[in-house]
Amino acid sequence: MTYADSWSDLVSTALVGTSRRPLPPAADHAETPSGDPAARLLERAALAAIQRRAGQRPSPPPAPPPAPAPEETAPYLDGPALKRLNTILDTRRVFLAEWLHYAAATGKLLPPEYLPDVLSHAKGNTIAARALTRVGGARARWLARHCSVWSYLLDFEEAHPDFFDPELWATGTATQRRIQLERLRRTDPEHARDLVARTWANERAETRYELLKAWEHGLSRDDEPLLLTALRDRSHPVRVLAAALLIQLPDSDDGQRLTHHATHLLRTTGAQEQETITLTPPGDVDAEFASLLSPNRRTTKTPEERAHTLLSHLPLRLWIGRLGSSPADVVSKKMDDTVRDALIAAAVRYRDLDWVRAFLDDVGRHTFASNNWFEQLDALLHQLPAEERCDRVAHWLDDPDIPETQTWNLLYRLEFPWVGRLNDILVEQLFTSPDAPDHFGVIAPGAENKLDPGLYERLAPLAEKRKGSREFRHLVTTLEYRYTMRKELM
């Protein structure tokens, strides 16, 4: 109904009376609340007159306000720690992630008035965001849900309560929906399967892949119908992930068929001491398995490259007994760089620490020839606990077979906090070794915000001996600032 038709109908109804003619449909303006037809007619006419003058429809009634954030039960931070936070937010934001890291360990919460600024400045920093999920409490989650700029916080599992949130499932990002789905699968897997089945056909390929990742935990035979649907998906990554999940499904005929084909992709050749892992052409396989290899058949793509996505998703247990007796045995063998890259990706994907450690143990003997050597090493290291991660880097710093420059570059990627023996080795290289002057300019800029701040007490006396070094003074001053900051939160 056009505006002209609507106004004309209102006038006609007014002329003959509402007792003889019903009100026309409210097509071009909001419905009014009055119950009496005559009063509703006048209200509708008033709205239409305003619309006529304004040139647009009146806005619909505002949505009801959201429910308030839950009350917090934990105490709030106060005292010198909050004064320090004010300074950090004003002029020293580089220390925000570390401050939040220590604050989260106290079990206390940020006062609500600090949350908007902290949410804004923590964006893009994984350490800060993870800490904020704890120190921000329920109110930080509430703000993240109602402000898109802060919604990044909901991408971290720690930010979600221990129950399924239907609203976040319906409106969240793919990652947020996957996290909610994982939570629902722990308590009501049948409901989780039903929700995905309803929306699966209309989801984007990237979203289908993300949601399917929720099936990596708690697999059962009841999941098989959905996995078989995903195995025939139009998206190659979705098909590959579905195949990897079916292979992990106990007593699945399709899983056993896929396992048979997959385990024949790699084999060992050569004498025992010179064994090489090579890719075997798939041979006589069904069309379903053939679809799991990369659909890109360009001549520039090798068979290893076409198999990379599938190999990086396959459970690593498939290779024990076929390629070697243990992860270390498999990793010690020669293999194509692309195959090695795929196995490293699988170790990171499944967070399999036996395989992660096997690849890291191999660093001293092999150089990762791929262009993403640092990215691979960084991904492997970050599967380990902080102390073991730092000890690995400390060992490489001590290893004369590994170029110092490569290990120093790795230091810049190593997350805070640096713990254990790494601190001692860096102090030696920075201050006591014959090469200390050369090392200082390379290491110090990346170390000042990550070295254990407790080293301040050890290094402060040396400051008097090296008054002429501006870089040294800056390092010690930074350590002192961080040392005091940590004490305020202990």
Residues 361 and 366: their CA atoms lie apart, in Å, by: 10
Q: Are 469 and 436 in contact (CB under 8 A)?
A: no
Report pLDDT for 368: 43
Residues 211 and 242: their CA atoms lie apart, in Å, by: 11
Instruction: Please report, in angstroms and rounded to a whole number, the separation of the first and last CA atoms in the chain.
Output: 68
Strand order from edge to edge, sheet including 334-335: 266-269, 276-279, 334-335
Per-residue pLDDT of the chain (490 residues; tens, 9 = 90+): 455 457 788 888 888 888 888 887 765 555 666 678 888 888 888 887 777 776 666 677 888 888 899 899 999 999 999 999 999 999 999 999 999 999 999 999 999 999 999 999 999 999 999 999 999 999 999 999 999 999 999 998 776 777 899 989 999 999 999 999 999 999 999 999 999 999 999 999 999 999 999 998 889 999 999 999 999 999 999 999 999 999 999 889 999 999 999 999 999 998 877 899 999 877 777 788 888 887 765 655 777 788 899 999 999 999 999 999 999 999 999 998 889 999 999 999 999 999 999 999 987 655 544 556 778 888 999 999 999 999 998 888 888 777 777 777 778 788 888 888 998 888 887 776 666 666 666 677 778 888 899 888 888 777 666 655 677 788 888 999 999 999 999 8
Residue 279, H or E segment? strand 276-279
Report, in angstroms and rounded to the nearest whole number, the Rg of the chain calculated over CA atoms: 31
Residues 70 and 139: their CA atoms lie apart, in Å, by: 7
Burial class (CB in 10 A: 0-12, 13-18, 19+), 162: exposed
- Write b or e for each residue in 272-298: b if 16 or more Cβ atoms lie within 10 A of its Cβ, otherwise e: eeebebbbeebeebeebbebbbbeeee
Strands 276-279 and 334-335: parallel
Local structure of 368: helix, strand or coil: coil
Distance from chain centroid for Cα 63: 32
Helix count and strand count (H, E) for the chain: 26, 3
- What amino acid occupies position 174? A
Nearest to 410 by CA among 375, 439, 441: 375
* Phi, psi torsion values for 460, nearest 5 degrees: -55, -45
Report pLDDT for 369: 44
Residue 295, preceding peptide bond in cis (omega within 30° of 0): no
- CA dihedral over 389, 390, 393, 395, signed as positive or negative: negative
Report pLDDT for 51: 74
- What amino acid occupies position 392? R
Nearest to 368 by CA among 322, 324, 335, 397: 335
Q: Are 350 and 383 in contact (CB under 8 A)?
A: no
Record the tokens describing residue 133, joined without a space.
């999920």
